[in-house]
Amino acid sequence: MKVIDHIKQAKGETLFSFEIIPPVKGKSIQELYDNIDPLMEFKPPFIDVTTSREEYVYIDRDGLLDKKLTRMRPGTLGICASITHKYNVDTVPHVLCGGFTKEETEYLLVDCHYLGIDNVMALRGDAMKEEKYFSATSGGHQFASDLVRQISDLNKGNYLHEVIETDNCADFCVGVAGYPEKHMEAPSLKSDLKRLKQKVDLGADYVVTQMFFDNKKFFEFVEEARKMGINVPIIPGIKPIAVKRHLQLLPQVFRVDIPEELIDAVESCKNNKEVRQVGVEWCIEQSKELKEAGVPVLHYYSMGKSDNIKAIAKEVF
Protein backbone atom coordinates (compact mmCIF):
# COMPACT_ATOMS: atom_id res chain seq x y z
CA MET A 1 0.00 0.00 0.00
CA LYS A 2 1.14 3.55 -0.67
CA VAL A 3 2.35 5.78 2.16
CA ILE A 4 -0.31 8.37 1.32
CA ASP A 5 -3.00 5.67 1.49
CA HIS A 6 -1.78 4.61 4.93
CA ILE A 7 -2.10 8.24 6.00
CA LYS A 8 -5.61 8.52 4.57
CA GLN A 9 -6.72 5.30 6.27
CA ALA A 10 -5.43 6.57 9.62
CA LYS A 11 -8.08 9.35 9.50
CA GLY A 12 -6.02 11.88 11.42
CA GLU A 13 -4.30 9.46 13.80
CA THR A 14 -0.53 9.91 13.91
CA LEU A 15 1.33 6.86 12.60
CA PHE A 16 4.73 5.49 13.68
CA SER A 17 7.52 4.73 11.21
CA PHE A 18 11.28 4.48 11.22
CA GLU A 19 14.32 4.24 8.99
CA ILE A 20 17.04 1.59 8.95
CA ILE A 21 20.40 1.24 7.23
CA PRO A 22 21.60 -1.95 5.52
CA PRO A 23 24.37 -3.88 7.27
CA VAL A 24 27.95 -3.55 6.09
CA LYS A 25 29.00 -6.23 3.60
CA GLY A 26 29.73 -9.51 5.35
CA LYS A 27 27.36 -8.85 8.26
CA SER A 28 24.20 -10.86 8.85
CA ILE A 29 20.72 -9.47 8.30
CA GLN A 30 19.77 -11.05 11.64
CA GLU A 31 21.19 -8.06 13.55
CA LEU A 32 18.80 -5.88 11.55
CA TYR A 33 15.88 -8.14 12.45
CA ASP A 34 16.91 -8.02 16.12
CA ASN A 35 16.53 -4.24 16.06
CA ILE A 36 13.29 -4.24 14.06
CA ASP A 37 11.55 -6.85 16.24
CA PRO A 38 11.12 -4.61 19.33
CA LEU A 39 9.53 -1.85 17.24
CA MET A 40 6.87 -3.94 15.53
CA GLU A 41 4.53 -3.69 18.54
CA PHE A 42 3.93 -0.05 17.51
CA LYS A 43 2.56 -1.24 14.15
CA PRO A 44 4.62 0.77 11.67
CA PRO A 45 2.75 0.83 8.33
CA PHE A 46 6.05 1.29 6.50
CA ILE A 47 9.80 1.14 7.09
CA ASP A 48 12.38 3.14 5.14
CA VAL A 49 15.59 1.45 3.99
CA THR A 50 18.49 3.71 3.09
CA THR A 51 20.78 3.34 0.10
CA SER A 52 24.51 4.01 0.23
CA ARG A 53 26.40 5.47 -2.68
CA GLU A 54 29.83 4.27 -3.76
CA GLU A 55 33.00 5.29 -1.96
CA TYR A 56 36.73 4.84 -2.42
CA VAL A 57 38.79 2.41 -0.36
CA TYR A 58 42.53 1.87 -0.42
CA ILE A 59 43.82 -1.70 -0.59
CA ASP A 60 47.42 -2.50 0.30
CA ARG A 61 48.97 -4.54 -2.53
CA ASP A 62 52.61 -5.34 -1.77
CA GLY A 63 53.21 -2.00 -0.14
CA LEU A 64 51.35 0.00 -2.75
CA LEU A 65 47.91 1.47 -2.10
CA ASP A 66 45.39 0.54 -4.76
CA LYS A 67 42.38 2.89 -4.94
CA LYS A 68 39.13 1.02 -5.57
CA LEU A 69 35.51 2.07 -5.84
CA THR A 70 33.09 0.04 -3.72
CA ARG A 71 29.69 0.13 -2.07
CA MET A 72 29.98 -0.72 1.63
CA ARG A 73 26.26 -1.21 2.34
CA PRO A 74 24.61 -2.83 -0.68
CA GLY A 75 21.39 -4.82 -0.49
CA THR A 76 18.70 -2.17 -0.06
CA LEU A 77 16.26 -3.89 -2.39
CA GLY A 78 16.92 -7.36 -0.94
CA ILE A 79 16.38 -6.03 2.57
CA CYS A 80 13.10 -4.40 1.51
CA ALA A 81 11.87 -7.69 0.08
CA SER A 82 12.99 -9.59 3.20
CA ILE A 83 11.31 -7.16 5.60
CA THR A 84 8.08 -7.21 3.61
CA HIS A 85 8.08 -11.02 3.62
CA LYS A 86 9.02 -11.39 7.29
CA TYR A 87 6.88 -8.66 8.84
CA ASN A 88 4.13 -8.09 6.27
CA VAL A 89 4.87 -4.36 6.28
CA ASP A 90 5.43 -1.95 3.40
CA THR A 91 8.96 -0.76 2.74
CA VAL A 92 10.33 2.42 1.19
CA PRO A 93 13.69 1.97 -0.56
CA HIS A 94 15.73 5.13 -0.95
CA VAL A 95 16.68 5.91 -4.55
CA LEU A 96 19.67 8.22 -5.06
CA CYS A 97 21.01 10.42 -7.81
CA GLY A 98 24.60 10.07 -6.57
CA GLY A 99 26.26 6.84 -7.60
CA PHE A 100 23.64 5.71 -10.10
CA THR A 101 23.09 6.29 -13.81
CA LYS A 102 19.61 6.92 -15.17
CA GLU A 103 19.62 3.41 -16.63
CA GLU A 104 20.58 1.83 -13.31
CA THR A 105 17.79 3.81 -11.68
CA GLU A 106 15.30 2.53 -14.25
CA TYR A 107 16.38 -1.08 -13.66
CA LEU A 108 16.03 -0.57 -9.89
CA LEU A 109 12.52 0.83 -10.32
CA VAL A 110 11.53 -2.07 -12.56
CA ASP A 111 12.77 -4.50 -9.89
CA CYS A 112 10.74 -2.61 -7.25
CA HIS A 113 7.65 -2.88 -9.44
CA TYR A 114 8.15 -6.64 -9.89
CA LEU A 115 8.51 -7.06 -6.12
CA GLY A 116 5.30 -5.18 -5.43
CA ILE A 117 7.07 -2.25 -3.75
CA ASP A 118 4.74 0.73 -4.10
CA ASN A 119 6.84 3.46 -2.46
CA VAL A 120 10.24 5.05 -3.10
CA MET A 121 12.09 7.94 -1.51
CA ALA A 122 13.78 10.09 -4.18
CA LEU A 123 16.93 11.79 -2.91
CA ARG A 124 19.92 13.51 -4.44
CA GLY A 125 22.28 11.98 -1.91
CA ASP A 126 25.52 13.33 -0.50
CA ALA A 127 28.82 14.14 -2.12
CA MET A 128 31.43 11.41 -2.05
CA LYS A 129 33.69 11.55 1.00
CA GLU A 130 36.60 12.88 -1.04
CA GLU A 131 34.50 15.58 -2.72
CA LYS A 132 33.64 18.95 -1.21
CA TYR A 133 30.55 19.39 -3.37
CA PHE A 134 28.08 16.98 -4.91
CA SER A 135 28.67 16.19 -8.56
CA ALA A 136 26.40 14.04 -10.69
CA THR A 137 27.49 10.56 -11.66
CA SER A 138 28.28 10.31 -15.37
CA GLY A 139 24.92 9.50 -16.96
CA GLY A 140 23.06 10.22 -13.73
CA HIS A 141 20.91 13.00 -12.31
CA GLN A 142 22.20 16.22 -10.77
CA PHE A 143 19.04 17.06 -8.80
CA ALA A 144 16.37 15.12 -6.90
CA SER A 145 13.76 16.92 -9.02
CA ASP A 146 15.17 15.18 -12.12
CA LEU A 147 14.89 11.85 -10.32
CA VAL A 148 11.26 12.58 -9.38
CA ARG A 149 10.57 13.41 -13.02
CA GLN A 150 12.04 10.06 -14.14
CA ILE A 151 9.89 8.14 -11.65
CA SER A 152 6.76 10.07 -12.66
CA ASP A 153 7.50 9.39 -16.33
CA LEU A 154 7.93 5.67 -15.65
CA ASN A 155 4.56 5.68 -13.86
CA LYS A 156 3.10 6.77 -17.21
CA GLY A 157 4.95 4.11 -19.20
CA ASN A 158 7.58 6.57 -20.41
CA TYR A 159 10.88 4.72 -20.08
CA LEU A 160 14.24 6.30 -20.86
CA HIS A 161 14.46 5.14 -24.45
CA GLU A 162 10.90 4.20 -25.35
CA VAL A 163 7.24 4.64 -24.49
CA ILE A 164 5.58 1.34 -23.63
CA GLU A 165 1.81 0.96 -23.93
CA THR A 166 0.85 -1.38 -21.10
CA ASP A 167 -1.84 -2.07 -18.54
CA ASN A 168 0.90 -2.92 -16.05
CA CYS A 169 2.44 0.50 -15.46
CA ALA A 170 4.26 1.17 -12.21
CA ASP A 171 2.41 3.46 -9.83
CA PHE A 172 5.01 4.53 -7.31
CA CYS A 173 4.21 6.79 -4.39
CA VAL A 174 7.17 9.17 -4.26
CA GLY A 175 8.59 10.70 -1.10
CA VAL A 176 11.10 13.55 -1.08
CA ALA A 177 13.17 15.36 1.54
CA GLY A 178 12.35 18.70 3.14
CA TYR A 179 14.61 20.86 5.29
CA PRO A 180 13.05 22.90 8.14
CA GLU A 181 16.36 24.74 8.58
CA LYS A 182 17.03 24.71 4.79
CA HIS A 183 19.39 22.50 2.83
CA MET A 184 23.01 23.32 3.59
CA GLU A 185 23.62 24.35 -0.03
CA ALA A 186 20.50 26.52 -0.40
CA PRO A 187 21.06 30.30 -0.26
CA SER A 188 17.83 30.82 1.70
CA LEU A 189 14.88 28.92 3.13
CA LYS A 190 12.58 30.48 0.54
CA SER A 191 14.73 29.28 -2.36
CA ASP A 192 14.88 25.84 -0.77
CA LEU A 193 11.08 25.77 -0.53
CA LYS A 194 10.90 26.66 -4.23
CA ARG A 195 12.99 23.54 -4.93
CA LEU A 196 10.63 21.50 -2.78
CA LYS A 197 7.61 22.92 -4.62
CA GLN A 198 9.23 21.92 -7.91
CA LYS A 199 9.60 18.33 -6.70
CA VAL A 200 5.96 18.23 -5.62
CA ASP A 201 4.81 19.71 -8.93
CA LEU A 202 6.79 17.01 -10.75
CA GLY A 203 5.00 14.24 -8.87
CA ALA A 204 6.22 13.91 -5.27
CA ASP A 205 3.39 12.63 -3.05
CA TYR A 206 4.75 13.41 0.41
CA VAL A 207 7.68 15.03 2.22
CA VAL A 208 9.83 13.70 5.06
CA THR A 209 11.93 16.30 6.83
CA GLN A 210 15.50 16.20 7.92
CA MET A 211 15.98 15.91 11.69
CA PHE A 212 15.37 18.96 13.86
CA PHE A 213 15.38 19.55 17.61
CA ASP A 214 13.15 22.61 17.85
CA ASN A 215 9.51 21.95 16.92
CA LYS A 216 8.94 25.64 16.30
CA LYS A 217 11.18 25.40 13.24
CA PHE A 218 9.12 22.49 11.90
CA PHE A 219 5.82 24.31 12.41
CA GLU A 220 7.18 27.44 10.71
CA PHE A 221 8.49 25.33 7.83
CA VAL A 222 5.09 23.70 7.31
CA GLU A 223 3.36 27.08 7.44
CA GLU A 224 5.68 28.55 4.79
CA ALA A 225 5.35 25.43 2.64
CA ARG A 226 1.56 25.68 2.70
CA LYS A 227 1.74 29.37 1.75
CA MET A 228 3.82 28.34 -1.26
CA GLY A 229 1.18 25.82 -2.36
CA ILE A 230 2.87 22.65 -1.10
CA ASN A 231 -0.19 20.69 0.02
CA VAL A 232 1.10 17.11 0.27
CA PRO A 233 1.60 15.45 3.69
CA ILE A 234 4.71 16.69 5.51
CA ILE A 235 6.17 14.10 7.88
CA PRO A 236 8.61 15.19 10.61
CA GLY A 237 11.83 13.21 10.76
CA ILE A 238 13.21 12.91 14.29
CA LYS A 239 16.47 11.64 15.74
CA PRO A 240 17.26 11.39 19.45
CA ILE A 241 20.71 12.56 20.50
CA ALA A 242 22.63 9.53 21.75
CA VAL A 243 26.25 10.56 22.44
CA LYS A 244 27.98 13.79 23.48
CA ARG A 245 29.77 13.99 20.16
CA HIS A 246 26.42 14.64 18.48
CA LEU A 247 26.60 18.22 19.76
CA GLN A 248 29.41 18.84 17.28
CA LEU A 249 28.70 16.19 14.66
CA LEU A 250 25.03 16.86 13.88
CA PRO A 251 25.38 20.63 13.32
CA GLN A 252 28.51 20.04 11.24
CA VAL A 253 27.09 17.30 9.01
CA PHE A 254 23.41 18.28 8.82
CA ARG A 255 23.57 22.05 9.51
CA VAL A 256 20.93 21.87 12.22
CA ASP A 257 20.70 24.02 15.35
CA ILE A 258 20.47 22.43 18.77
CA PRO A 259 18.49 24.36 21.42
CA GLU A 260 20.53 25.75 24.32
CA GLU A 261 18.43 23.85 26.84
CA LEU A 262 19.30 20.55 25.17
CA ILE A 263 22.98 21.51 24.86
CA ASP A 264 23.15 22.30 28.58
CA ALA A 265 21.45 19.03 29.48
CA VAL A 266 23.84 16.98 27.35
CA GLU A 267 26.94 18.81 28.56
CA SER A 268 25.96 18.15 32.17
CA CYS A 269 25.92 14.38 31.58
CA LYS A 270 28.75 12.32 33.05
CA ASN A 271 28.71 9.66 30.33
CA ASN A 272 26.96 8.67 27.10
CA LYS A 273 24.47 6.49 28.97
CA GLU A 274 23.14 9.65 30.59
CA VAL A 275 23.27 11.46 27.24
CA ARG A 276 21.17 8.72 25.68
CA GLN A 277 18.53 9.16 28.38
CA VAL A 278 18.51 12.94 27.87
CA GLY A 279 18.04 12.34 24.14
CA VAL A 280 15.12 9.99 24.79
CA GLU A 281 13.40 12.42 27.15
CA TRP A 282 13.82 15.37 24.76
CA CYS A 283 12.52 13.29 21.86
CA ILE A 284 9.48 12.15 23.88
CA GLU A 285 8.49 15.76 24.51
CA GLN A 286 9.12 16.65 20.87
CA SER A 287 7.03 13.70 19.72
CA LYS A 288 4.13 14.42 22.07
CA GLU A 289 3.90 18.03 20.89
CA LEU A 290 4.06 17.03 17.23
CA LYS A 291 1.45 14.33 17.73
CA GLU A 292 -0.81 16.78 19.53
CA ALA A 293 -0.44 19.08 16.52
CA GLY A 294 -1.76 16.30 14.28
CA VAL A 295 1.27 15.39 12.18
CA PRO A 296 0.45 12.44 9.88
CA VAL A 297 3.44 10.31 10.87
CA LEU A 298 6.30 10.47 13.35
CA HIS A 299 9.31 9.14 11.45
CA TYR A 300 12.37 8.16 13.50
CA TYR A 301 15.95 7.91 12.28
CA SER A 302 17.00 4.80 14.17
CA MET A 303 20.44 4.28 12.57
CA GLY A 304 19.89 0.55 13.05
CA LYS A 305 19.45 0.68 16.84
CA SER A 306 16.06 0.34 18.45
CA ASP A 307 16.38 0.60 22.24
CA ASN A 308 16.02 4.39 22.43
CA ILE A 309 13.34 4.48 19.71
CA LYS A 310 11.33 1.86 21.61
CA ALA A 311 11.61 3.86 24.84
CA ILE A 312 10.27 6.93 23.01
CA ALA A 313 7.47 5.09 21.20
CA LYS A 314 6.25 3.47 24.45
CA GLU A 315 5.54 6.94 25.85
CA VAL A 316 4.04 8.40 22.67
CA PHE A 317 2.01 5.60 20.99
pLDDT for the residue numbered 180 = 97
The model's pTM is 0.94
Separation of CA 297 from chain center: 13
Q: Is 112 exposed, middle or buried (0-12, 13-18, 19+ CB in 10 A)?
A: buried
pLDDT for the residue numbered 189 = 94
Could you tell me the mean pLDDT of each successive run of 10 residues in the chain, 317 residues long? Answer: 98 97 91 96 97 71 68 88 97 96 96 97 88 88 97 96 90 98 94 98 98 98 98 98 95 94 97 97 98 98 90 98
